[in-house]
Amino acid sequence: MKKIRLNLMMIALGLLFGTNSCNPNEKPDENIPLDGRGGGIIAFYSERDGNSEINVMNADGSSQTRLTRNQFSDITPDISPDGTKIIFVSDRNGNREIYEMHIDGSNTVRLTNNAVDDAYPFYSYDGTKIIYSSKTDGNWDIYIMNSDGSGNTRITQTSQNEEWSYLSPDKSRVAFGTGSFPDFDIYTIKTDGSSLSPIVVEAYGQAFPKWSPDGNTIAHNSCDFAGEYSNWKGDIYLINPDGSNSRKITGTSQRCVNENPYWSPDGSKLVFQSNRTGNMQIYIMNADGSEQTRLTNNQGNDYWPSWRSYTAR
């Protein structure tokens, strides 16, 4: 059930017919180093080797490198703002907990140790905090902690699920999805749990909100899960943090899902996942939806991209 639910978040994805500049038969150049070409480094998790493992690549799709190798499920990576570490979720010790490792896959450290599942960790823009969800009372609530795993503080305490939380650049507010599959809405809340504000309250699944680096825009996706999976449809939108000026930046007549957007370090582009060619793969585009380019091309699904600047090592 857990795997099905997580895949729904990654499947609530992909509805674009945009241009594909990649040759479908082209393989990544394994001789290119991980050096940030294309504007930084992108982490994602992939099922290409049979189970979910964490991978990284340059932002142009080169040097695709697998970091974890085990029989467990390693998912939902986020790169630290300085490009040196990755947080992710793994069930390697039983239930799902949050771990951190260096960008080369070394020095793995466990950050949470709870009797319940923890999920969807994201660094703050300054790297000092980690926001995540924990299934404390049978449903998902939002927590925040220091980047070393200390100082856990609960933000929400409701009977709803609060998931995919993401901190504003100044760390004053959290954007998140709330509801139950398939109906979610997007709200913001202060980190002290006050000032709850609706941002997107509409039909279908509103999910994966991400604040832009300048704090002026929230990217998210909206998906229609009606009928069979092959009929699901979803697109990526931008909206102001006060809920105004919503605009769709992906769109197609075909039934597919584009979802899970993540801003480039300079805010000029977005990386996202889409199943427009059959299975989930990673794409990038300009922040207005133009110049969509496919970065991964694998038999297995690729999910949950995060994009940060490269730090020379």
Identify whether the C-beta of residue 248 lies closer than 8 Å to the C-beta of residue 235. yes
Tokens of 209: 């909100």
Residues in a beta bridge with 102: 85
Q: Is residue 292 part of a domain?
A: yes
Q: Identify whether 263 is part of a domain.
A: yes
Angle at 203 between CA 198 and CA 204, to 5 degrees: 105
Strands 197-200 and 205-211: unpaired
Of 261, 274, 214, 222, the closest CA to residue 240 belongs to 214
Residue 145 located in a structural domain: yes
Per-residue HEC secondary structure of 92-143 comes to CCCCCEEEEEECCCCCCEECCCCCCCEEEEEECCCCCEEEEEECCCCCCEEE
What 3-state DSSP class applies to 265? coil
Residue numbers of the domain that contains 276: 2-308
Model pLDDT for residues 128-172, shown as the tens digit of each residue: 999 999 998 889 999 999 999 999 999 999 989 999 999 999 999
Residue 231 CB coordination number (10 Å): 11
For residue 147, is it within any domain? yes
Query: Per residue in 2-41, is it b (16+ CB within 10 Å) or e — as a string?
Result: eeeebbbbbbbbbbbebebebeeeeebeeeeebebbbbbb
Number of independent structural domains in the chain: 1
Note whether residue 200 is domain-resident. yes
Look up the pTM and report it: 0.90
CA atoms of 65 and 201, how far apart (whole Å): 39
In a domain, 313, yes or no: no
Q: Is residue 34 part of a domain?
A: yes
Determine the pLDDT at residue 31: 79
Q: 228 or 190: whose pLDDT is higher? A: 190
What's the CATH number where 293 sits? 2.120.10.30
Backbone angles phi, psi at 133, to 5 degrees: -115, 145
Give me the mean pLDDT over the 229-246 stretch. 91
Is-contact 61 38, C-beta < 8 A? Answer: yes
Q: pLDDT tens across 25-44, in order?
A: 344 455 789 999 999 999 99
Residue 152 to residue 312: CA distance in whole angstroms: 31
Question: pLDDT tens-digit profile of 252-307?
Answer: 667 789 999 999 999 999 999 999 988 999 999 999 999 999 999 988 999 999 99
Residue 71 lies in a domain: yes
Bridge partner list, 145 = 130
